[in-house]
Chains A and B, each alone.
Chain A
Amino acid sequence: MRLAVAEQWVEAPLKRFVDEARVQLAVLLNPSGQVLGQFGFTSSVDVMTACALAAATTASSAELGRQVDGRPFSGMHYAGKTRQIFLGQVPVGAGSLILLTVFDDESSLGLVKLFFAELCANLPAAIPSRVPATPALAGDFERELNRNLAVMFGRA
C-alpha cells in the first residue's frame, strides 16, 4: 500500500506517522472534508466517505466538547473488536486539520497518540505560507475534492 497526497507538504509528516505508528489506514483532511493525503485506501469512494464522516464526526464532537467542557474535544478513540479508530485534530496556524486513522493490534492507542503528537508538531512546520487557512467556498468544494482525489488515485 502506498501513501498518496494531494498536497506535497503533507507527504513527509504523514509518511512518518504511518511508518512509525504502524497504522492500517490514515487520511488527513481539512475540516470541510477535503482530502490532503491518504494511506491504505484503495478506492476514491472510500476516501470520500471516510472524509465526509470524519469531518462530520469532528464537528459534532467539537460541539459536544464545547457543551461538556467549554472547549472542543481534540481527539476521539473507538475500540472495535479487531480494529480501532482514532480521530484527532492537528492545529495548523489559526485553523486545524483532521487525521482519521485505523489500526489493529500491530499498533496501540498509546503509539498512535505518541506519533499523532509528533505529526501535530511536524505538520505546521511543513505547511507552506501560500496555503489558505480559510475553508473552501461551497462552489469550489466539489471541484477541489475531485481534483484531490484524482491526484491521489492517478486520474489527474
Chain B
Amino acid sequence: MSSPFTALLASLIRHRGVTGCMVVGASDGLIVDASLQTGVNGEAFAALSASLYRKAQRAARAAGFGEAGFFELDAERGHMCATGRNDLVLVVVSEPRLNVGLLRVEMLRALEAFA
C-alpha cells in the first residue's frame, strides 16, 4: 500500500548507511509510513522519536529559539535525525558512517511534501 510519502521514503532509504526512515505523527507517535530494514523496531522507534522531537521543539521554544528545524542524535552505534512540519515528523535512523550533511539537505527538502 502506498502513501503520499512512499517515494520520499524510498529515496531516503537508498542513502548509504540509512537503516530506516519513517513519517510519524508528532502528537500521537504512530507510524504514518515507513521504510525499515530488518532489525529496526519501527513502532518503538516512532513513539520514542516523536516524543523526543516534541520535547526538542518545546525546549527550543522555551529557550526563545523559535521552532526547531532539524535535530540529530549521535549514539555509539548510529545516528537519528529528525525534522518536521504540520504535526508530522520525518525520522531517519542510520549507521555511524552516514553522510549527515547530505541527508540533512535531503530531509529539509523533503519537508515540502508535508506542506
Q: How far is the CB of A138 from chain B (nearest CB, A)?
A: 40
With A110-B43, A113-B43, A114-B43: A105-B48 Cβ-Cβ less than 8 Å: no
Cα distance, A111 to B51, chains bound together (Å): 8
Query: Per-residue 0/1 for B3-34: is the Cβ within 8 Å of any A Cβ (1 yes, 0 no)?
Result: 00000000000000000000011011110000
Q: How many residues of B contact A (CB 8 A)?
A: 14
A136 interface hit (Cβ, 8 Å): no
- Secondary structure class of chain A's binding surface, majority of residues: helix
Within 8 Å CB of B88, what residues of A? none
Nearest A residue to B29 by beta-carbon distance? Answer: A110
- In the complex, whether A109 has a CB less than 8 A from a CB of chain B is yes
Is residue B98 within 8 Å, beta carbon to beta carbon, of the partner chain? no
Chain A residues contacting B47 (CB-CB under 8 Å) are 108, 110-111, 113-114
* Closest chain B residue, CB of each to CB of A77: B28
Interface check B44, CB cutoff 8 A: yes
Q: Distance in Å from the Cβ of A21 to the closest Cβ of chain B?
A: 10
CB-nearest residue of chain B relative to A107? B51
Instruction: Tell me whether A105 and B27 are in contact in the complex, defined as CB-CB below 8 angstroms, given that A110-B43, A110-B46, A114-B44 are known contacts.
Output: yes
Q: Is the CB of A109 within 8 A of B51?
A: no
CA distance A101 to B4 in the complex (A): 33
Tell me the B35-93 residues at the A interface (CB within 8 Å): 43-44, 46-48, 50-51, 54
CB-CB nearest in chain B for A115: B47
Nearest-CB distance from A116 to chain B (Å)? Answer: 11
What separation, in Å, do the CA atoms of A97 and B47 have in the docked complex? 24
Q: B43 — nearest CB in chain A belongs to which residue?
A: A114
A108 with B51: CB separation less than 8 A:
yes
| Whole-angstrom CA separation of A105 from B28 in the bound complex | 9
User: From residue 52 to 100 of chain A, which have CB atoms closer than 8 A to chain B?
Assistant: none
Contact check, B44 vs A109: say whether CB atoms are below 8 A apart.
Answer: no
Residues of B within 8 A of A (CB): 24-25, 27-30, 43-44, 46-48, 50-51, 54
